[in-house]
Amino acid sequence: MNRKPHVTLSDIAKQLNVSKVTVSKALRGHPDISRETTKLVKKVAEELGYTPNFAARNLSSRKSNTIGVVVPKIAHFFFSSLIESIYDQAFYNNFDIALTVSQENVERERKHIETLMAMRVDGLIISITQQTKDKTIFEKVVSRDVPLVFMDRVMPVDGTSQVTVDDKGGAIKAIELAIDNGYTKIAHIGGFTEINIGRRRYEGYVEAMKRRGLEIDPDWVVHGGFGEDDGYQGFMKLYKSGRMPEFIFAVTYPVALGVYAAAAEVGVRIPDDLDIICFGSASINKFLKPALSYVDQPTATLGKVAVDLIIEHIGESDEYLPKHIEVPTELVMRDTCLRKKNAVISSAK
């Protein structure tokens, strides 16, 4: 590989018989330089086809104007729309994004964080993997004074901020609605409780049951991952136990889909034999039969808030003040969890 040399500041400077600093300043609109000169410089830059060298700029200015992002997945509706909103908001604020994907792999996650730090990103937005337990790498980030915002899937690390959705509150709303609709035998196919989204949603389930004075049958709580297969397995476990609940609260949309698949397989009809609600959705949910009712995660807001927060931290001095922002959720009713069949409505809200 042996590329044509790129046009540099010096090339422009030579052409105009000025110093390269003049050119640099002119291009940045620095007030030191006269209107005329600035115009001239810009014209010549255009003619010569100048493009600034970011590596050089980053090196000398020792910042990258870039936000590093680490997510566990892309090809899932939740993350792809989250990422899209992050890109939008960053673009709006003239920041670049360096996106990396851990593929739910802790080692890859660590590597990506190292790489992003080597790129000297100005700040990091991270959504951890299902398996992440070790805080070391995050503490390393903090010790390097690189602002860090955890997003959605978070980890309690001193000196870092968090942006989450109101997982517990959303879960409570969902379960309370189910109970108000007449259900009492309510199961939860949940995620890992080591990670906040799994834990908080579970806590919401527990809390709502308690508030309404319902017992929780330990057999009706299944913990696992957040994918379709986990939902499938979860359902099968409940099914094979011989004691089916009337209602399932699924920790994620894919888990709910897994339940759909499993239920169809064994001939359990949704929502007639088994009703369901879940956390999260996908754009094509409306085409599902029955379309899932769900706790909406406002991905656009989540991404926007995360970017705004990291930019805020980047702007602050060394000692920025970590924050925890919780974005509210909303119940969206579709074809499930509408009303218990044959139920005597006691306390329709």
Partner DNA sequence: AAATGTAACTTGACCGGTTACTATGCAAAA
Partner DNA sequence: TTTTGCATAGTAACCGGTCAAGTTACATTT
Q: Which residues bind DNA (CB under 7 A)?
A: 5-10, 17-22, 24-25, 27-28, 31-37, 50, 52-53, 56-57, 59-62
Pick 23 or 175: Cβ nearer its own copies: 23
Residue 81: which region, alpha, beta or left (left: phi > 0; alpha: psi -120 to 50)?
Answer: alpha
Q: Where are the beta strands (DSSP E) in 72-122?
A: 96-101
- The listed partner (its own copies, DNA, none) that binds 98, CB under 5 to 8 Å by sort, is its own copies
Contacts 24+ apart (CB under 8 A), 48-52: 48/7, 48/11, 48/12, 48/15, 49/7, 50/7, 50/8, 50/9, 50/11, 50/12, 51/6, 51/7, 52/27
Residues, the chain: 349
Q: Establish if 77 lies at the interface with its own copies (CB under 8 A).
A: yes
Pick 134 or 219: Cβ nearer its own copies: 134
Pick 220 or 260: Cβ nearer its own copies: 260
Q: Establish if 106 lies at the interface with its own copies (CB under 8 A).
A: no
> For the sheet containing 221-223, what is the strand order?
221-223, 186-190, 247-250, 275-279, 294-296, 330-332
- The listed partner (DNA, its own copies, none) that binds 272, CB under 5 to 8 Å by sort, is none
- The listed partner (DNA, its own copies, none) that binds 244, CB under 5 to 8 Å by sort, is none
Identified binder of its own copies from the candidate list 22, 89, 110, 122, rule CB under 8 A: 122
Tokens matching residue 276: 């369901």
Pick 55 or 321: Cβ nearer DNA: 55
Pick 101 or 174: Cβ nearer its own copies: 101
**Closest among 41, 49, 36, 39 to 19, alpha carbons compared:** 41
- The listed partner (its own copies, DNA, none) that binds 349, CB under 5 to 8 Å by sort, is none
- The listed partner (its own copies, DNA, none) that binds 18, CB under 5 to 8 Å by sort, is DNA
Q: CA 331 to CA 279: how far, in whole Å?
A: 9
Pick 6 or 210: Cβ nearer DNA: 6
- The listed partner (its own copies, DNA, none) that binds 142, CB under 5 to 8 Å by sort, is none
Is 73 within 8 Å of 101 (Cβ atoms)?
yes
Q: Establish if 282 lies at the interface with its own copies (CB under 8 A).
A: yes
Is 220 within 8 Å of 274 (Cβ atoms)?
no
Pick 183 or 320: Cβ nearer its own copies: 320
Pick 83 or 337: Cβ nearer its own copies: 83
Q: Establish if 11 lies at the interface with its own copies (CB under 8 A).
A: no
In 119-156, where does DSSP find H-type helix? 136-143
Q: Establish if 48 lies at the interface with its own copies (CB under 8 A).
A: no
Distance set, CA 82 to CA 122, 234, 294, 299 (Å):
20, 27, 18, 5
Give the angle 266-282-172 at the CA atoms, nearest 5°: 80
Give the shortest CB-29-to-DNA separation in angstroms. 11
Q: CA 166 to CA 271: how far, in whole Å?
A: 26
- The listed partner (DNA, its own copies, none) that binds 122, CB under 5 to 8 Å by sort, is its own copies
Give the shortest CB-81-to-its own copies separation in angstroms. 4
- Point out which residues bind its own copies (CB under 8 A): 1-4, 6, 49, 51-56, 58-59, 62-64, 73-77, 79-81, 83-84, 87-88, 91, 96-101, 103, 108, 114-115, 117-120, 122, 140, 143-146, 257, 260-261, 282-284, 286-289, 314-318
